[in-house]
């Protein structure tokens, strides 16, 4: 879902509907997550890889996606595999509306996630312009294993244990966009690039006063010159000196 679609209250409600609390809910979620039946929705090349995924080598039946239901009323999951053309978009929306709750949408491939390589008049630049998408699977076309990984991620989401994002796994908090300096594009190279002393990865070191001062100076200089700060401004190195 894109940012800004739901405001605070509606967002809270949206999240609450999706957080599993009771044991019964957990049991229901387990049943749903292990038996997601996709609707046959092959649009273009990704459909062939989806068919490969169903076939013997990359069998998805073992994960519960046993039958591809032709009727949307009997399907849980809509795998949008392929480019969404402007003529097809209303049809997809109608099929999505015909599906019964709970339903999920996986946008398979680059074309349905974002328009892919086709930035032109005929392709909708992202299926999430008209259907709510749960999982985007990148690739052109994604390998069957990649799509299966997407289905498993969706399953984890349904089970109430959504996969950790990379910031949790690699302790990358503090690099979110809102925390950067207000002028978008002014990346603090020193802060982002400094490796913490105890060997952890990026970005949790709190900036020192010196670094903050440098940053403020760079901002002020850029404001005066009204030009964007280049990447290597202020980085001490053999050939450049910190002016």
Cα–Cα dist 123/215, whole Å? 42
Residue with smaller CB distance to another protein, 55 or 208 = 55
Site membership for another protein, residue 49 (CB under 8 A): yes
Contact residues for 86 (Cβ-Cβ < 8 A; gap 6+): 121, 122, 123, 124
Q: Smallest gap, in angstroms, from Cβ of residue 161 to another protein?
A: 27
* Crossing angle of helices 23-33 and 144-158, rounded to 10°: 160
The H or E element that residue 95 is part of is helix 89-98
Residue window 156-195: x/- pattern of binding to another protein, with contact defined by CB under 8 A: ---------------------x------xx----------
- Binding residue for another protein, selected from 31, 140, 192, 195, defined by CB under 8 A: 140
The interface region with another protein, picked from 14-22, 121-129, 167-175, 211-219 by CB under 8 A, is: 121-129
User: What SS3 class is residue 135?
Assistant: strand
Using a 10 angstrom Cβ sphere, with 0-12 exposed, 13-18 middle and 19 or more buried, the burial of residue 42 is: middle
Let me know: does 5 contact 46? Beta carbons within 8 Å.
Answer: no
Considering only residues 192 to 211 of the shown chain, the ones binding another protein according to CB under 8 A are none
Let me know: does 109 contact 137? Beta carbons within 8 Å.
Answer: yes
Considering only residues 221 to 240 of the shown chain, the ones binding another protein according to CB under 8 A are 228
Q: Smallest gap, in angstroms, from Cβ of residue 27 to another protein?
A: 32
Q: Which residues bind another protein (CB under 8 A)?
A: 2-4, 40-45, 47-49, 51-52, 55-57, 68, 70, 72, 82-83, 85-88, 91, 95, 115, 117-123, 125, 140-141, 143, 177, 184-185, 228
């Amino acid at each position: 879902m894109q940012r800004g679609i739901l405001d605070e209250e509606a967002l809270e409600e949206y999240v609450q509907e999706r957080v599993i609390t009771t044991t019964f809910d957990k049991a229901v979620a387990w049943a749903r997550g292990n038996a997601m039946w996709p609707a046959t929705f092959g649009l273009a090349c990704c459909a062939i890889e989806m068919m490969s995924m169903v076939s013997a080598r990359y069998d998805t039946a073992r994960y519960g996606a046993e039958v591809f239901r032709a009727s949307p009323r009997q399907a849980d999951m809509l795998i949008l595999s392929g480019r969404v053309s402007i003529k097809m978009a209303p049809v997809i929306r109608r099929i999505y509306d015909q599906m019964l709750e709970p339903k999920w949408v996986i946008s398979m491939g680059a074309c349905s996630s974002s328009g892919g390589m086709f930035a032109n008049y005929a392709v909708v630049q992202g299926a999430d312009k008209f259907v709510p998408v749960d999982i985007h699977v990148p690739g052109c076309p994604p390998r069957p294993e990649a799509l299966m990984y997407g289905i498993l991620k969706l399953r984890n989401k349904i089970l109430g244990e959504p996969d950790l994002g990379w910031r949790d796994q690699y302790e990358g908090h503090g690099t979110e966009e809102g925390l950067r300096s207000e002028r978008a594009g002014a990346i603090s190279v020193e802060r982002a690039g400094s490796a913490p002393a105890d060997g952890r990865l990026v970005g949790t070191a709190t900036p020192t006063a010196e670094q903050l001062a440098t940053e403020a100076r760079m901002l002020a200089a850029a404001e005066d010159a009204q030009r964007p700060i280049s990447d290597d401004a202020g980085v001490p190195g053999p050939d450049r000196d910190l002016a």
